[in-house]
Copies of this chain bind each other. A is one copy, B any other.
Amino acid sequence: MARHVYLCPLRWADMDSLGHVNNVTYVDYLQEARVDMLRVNAPATGGEQLAEGVVVVRHEVEFAAPLVFRFEPVRIESWVTRIRAASFTMAYEILDEHPDGARTVYTRARTVLTPYVFSEERPRRIRGEERTVLERFLEPEGAS
Contacts and interface: CB of A to CB of B under 8 A. Distances in A.
Interface residues of A, number: 33
B60 A31 contact: no
B118 A39 contact: no
Contact of A17 (B9, B18, B63, B71): B18
A97 interface: no
Contacts of A55: 63, 66
Interface string A1-37: 0000000010111011111001110011001100100
Contacts of A24: 13, 24, 27-28, 31
Interface of A: 9, 11-13, 15-19, 22-24, 27-28, 31-32, 35, 39-40, 55-63, 66, 69, 71, 118, 121
Given A12-B32, A57-B62, 15 more contacts: A9-B9, A11-B32, A12-B31, A12-B35, A13-B32, A16-B17, A17-B18, A18-B118, A23-B56, A24-B28, A27-B27, A55-B63, A59-B61, A60-B60, A60-B61
